[in-house]
Amino acid sequence: MFRRILIANRGEIAVRVIRACREMGITSIAVYSSADQESLHASLADESICIGPPSASESYLHMPAIIAAAEICDAQAIHPGYGFLSENPKFASVCRECNINFIGPTPEALALSGDKAACRKKVKAAGVPVVPGSDGIVTDPDDALKLAKEIGFPLLVKASAGGGGKGMRLAHNDVALKNALSMASSEAQSAFGDGGVYLEKFLENARHIEFQILADHHGHIITLGERECSIQRRHQKLIEETPSVRLTYSLRSKMAKAALRAARAINYTNAGTVEFLLTPDNQFYFIEFNARIQVEHPVTEEVTGIDLVKEQIRIASGEALGYSSVAPTGHAIEARVYAEDPEANFAPSPGNVGQCHLPGGPGIRVDTHLFAGYTVPRYYDSLLAKVIARGRNREEAIHRLAGALEEFATEGVKTTARVCARIIRSDRFLRGDLGPDLIEQFVPKSR
């Protein structure tokens, strides 16, 4: 087992990893930018080291700074968290060259999961249904139009190197498709340095269901069940839950098997997530692989009792999984609390938090880096906290979570806690009708 782990991240996920290290008797080393000097992860870790100025590209994304920090602190492994360098195959291979263990998949698996067009091909070849679309990158508009005739509109043009909704365009006809191709491609070029785009049929009213995977280096691979993440805003997840009310026992086991096949197809190791779209007529399609610990991982932890971050560390150190199945019980829902102002079209709301109150009570878990007096820097992601409720059933989890979100209070910054509470208390959410349009009723019109 590792003795010293460097955490190449900030915010709540860095705090989460530090806690796992502490539990396992591992020395945690935090890295921070000069904007995060007063942050919780920097003060909570056993050791901390300043790696650069506020700009992420010069600190949390700057490989030489992180590797140098790992070397001078004698870290044996790096936990990348999510975002930043977590899915960067170059970083994983630099770690390997420097004899530092990257807590995540291999650089090869990362490269494949990051190339969405290539990943789609590989997964399709393994017999997993993928959303109807192009086999790989589309460059010629005439090829795109031909394909559009075959599979029909509406079509999504997606960046192969993409994520977070960037380089994505929806087209309903030939003219729009031509425009969407060039726009998505140039957007992808500027955002990811790779203009490759591919086509996918746009599935209306599809639900977003993902499966958590754990795979060790001894050939064992298991799934820990699904998470439903249909409540999204601007391709950003807001509320996640497990189990999904949409899945029957047989559909769940079919999707779980497909998820395992997809993970095997790209030789995946460590913790990862296979994302599917599920149509109203119960057809499911692979969309992409998330090769990292995910923001919404706590809901799976709450129903399975398995600590995914500890499992990541165990697997990376070479230990075998040691179990072949898990039996989830109860229901868990997570709401993400962002430092954003719902009244101002969800504009980021950085600043000093002042006094704050975090909810508690039975079945409530709050993963956050927030404390009274904390100043939310304007340089990074606005995720402030995750409030997770566990209940014996969905109804209990809903009421616990709604109550907890209504309790959540910060003085100086605006948050999305109340909006999430209203969504969760709505009749539609209670019924489990989580269509993509649900959120629109709760988002105040921008001024």
Partner 1 sequence: MDLDKLQELIRIFEASDLSEIEIEESGRRMRLKKPRPVMSYAGQMIPMQPADARGTQMVLHESVTAVPASAPVRAEKEPEKVITIDSPMVGVLYVAPSPGEPPFVHPGDTVDEGQAVCIVEAMKLMNEVTAKYPCVIVKALVENGEPVEFGQPLFVVRPIEQV
Q: Nearer to partner 1 by C-beta: 93 or 317?
A: 93
Does residue 355 bind partner 1 (CB under 8 A)? no
Of 3, 34, 90, 135, the one binding partner 1 (CB under 8 A) is 34
Does residue 354 bind partner 1 (CB under 8 A)? no
Of 3, 23, 38, 190, the one binding partner 1 (CB under 8 A) is 38
Residues acting as catalytic residues: 292
The interface with partner 1 within residues 366-385 (CB under 8 A) comprises 371-373, 375
String of contacts with partner 1 for each residue 98-117, x by CB under 8 A: x-------------------
Instruction: Annotate 320-339 with three-state secondary structure.
Output: CCCCCCCCCCCEEEEEEEEC
| Radius of gyration in angstroms for the set of CA atoms belonging to the chain, rounded to a whole number | 21
Does residue 72 bind partner 1 (CB under 8 A)? yes
Looking at this protein, which amino acid is placed at residue 12? E
Token pair of 311, please?
Answer: 């499992």
Q: Nearer to partner 1 by C-beta: 40 or 306?
A: 40
Q: Nearer to partner 1 by C-beta: 31 or 177?
A: 31
Largest CA distance in the chain: 60
Q: Nearer to partner 1 by C-beta: 65 or 299?
A: 65
Does residue 69 bind partner 1 (CB under 8 A)? yes
From CA 72, how far away is CA 55, in angstroms rounded? 22
The interface with partner 1 within residues 40-59 (CB under 8 A) comprises 43-44, 49-53, 59
- Binning the chain into helix, strand and coil, the percentages to the nearest 5 are 35, 30, 35
Token pair of 182, please?
Answer: 């060039």
**Residue 42 near residue 28 (C-beta atoms within 8 A):** no
Of 1, 23, 37, 90, the one binding partner 1 (CB under 8 A) is 37
Q: Output the smallest distance, CB 263 to partner 1, in A.
A: 32
Token pair of 86, please?
Answer: 């977590």
Does residue 67 bind partner 1 (CB under 8 A)? yes
**Residue 333 near residue 241 (C-beta atoms within 8 A):** yes
10 Å Cβ neighbour count for 399?
Answer: 16
Token pair of 334, please?
Answer: 């997570």
Pick the closest to residue 420 from 359, 337, 351 (CA basis). 337
Q: Nearer to partner 1 by C-beta: 91 or 289?
A: 91
Query: Quick one: CA dihedral 175, 180, 131, 264, positive or negative?
Result: positive
String of contacts with partner 1 for each residue 242-281, x by CB under 8 A: ----------------------------------------
**In angstroms, how far is the first alpha carbon of the chain from the final one?**
54
Q: Nearer to partner 1 by C-beta: 30 or 224?
A: 30
Does residue 438 bind partner 1 (CB under 8 A)? no
Chain positions contacting partner 1, by CB under 8 A: 31, 33-34, 37-38, 43-44, 49-53, 59, 63-65, 67-69, 71-73, 94, 98, 371-373, 375
